[in-house]
Structure 1
Amino acid sequence: MTQVIATMAGTVFTVNVAVGEEVAAGQVVLVLESMKMEIPIEAESAGKVTAINVQVGDFVNEEDVLLTIEA
């Protein structure tokens, strides 16, 4: 199980995956917006998305768990 963590504080701009979807390592799974910049967040490993903990418009802090991927 891999947790995708926010690398910085910001607002969830897009969620590019759904629960049950297979993702590849390096795939952009969501985008955060901070200070008018878009920050792509990538999956560190391949697997199936088992949980998404955020929605578009949510504010997240650095180190928050955004979603979970199971190999």
Structure 2
Amino acid sequence: MSEVVASMAGNVWKVLVEVGDQIEEDQDVVILESMKMEIPIAAEFDGTVKEVKVNEGDFVNEGDIILVIE
């Protein structure tokens, strides 16, 4: 299993995937909002989304786990 982590602190503006979705490397999975900028977070691996650990509106810190890929 692999984890996608936040590259910076910010609010989760949009979750683009759901549990069970097939995703590809470099596919955007979440968009964070920080300092009035939208920051896309991309998957680093191909796989299936096993768990989404954030909801829209949540605040995440740099390094927090956003989702788990299997």
Q: TM-score, normalised by structure 2?
A: 0.99
Aligned residues: 70
Provide the aligned C-alpha RMSD in A.
0.4
Residue in structure 1 matched with residue 55 of structure 2 by the alignment: 55
Consecutive unaligned residues of structure 2, counting only runs of 5 or more, are none
Matched, 1:34 2:34: yes
- Shift, 1:33, TM fit: 0.3
**Percent of pairs with identical residues:** 54
CA distance in 2, matches of 1:66, 1:28: 12
- Shift, 1:69, TM fit: 0.4
Partner amino acid for 2:48? Answer: K
Runs of 4+ in 1 over 3 A off after TM superposition: none
CA distance in 1, matches of 2:27, 2:51: 16
Residue in structure 2 matched with residue 65 of structure 1 by the alignment: 65
Partner amino acid for 1:69? Answer: I
Q: TM-score, normalised by structure 1?
A: 0.97
CA distance in 2, matches of 1:29, 1:60: 15
Partner-residue secondary structure (3-state), 2:55: coil
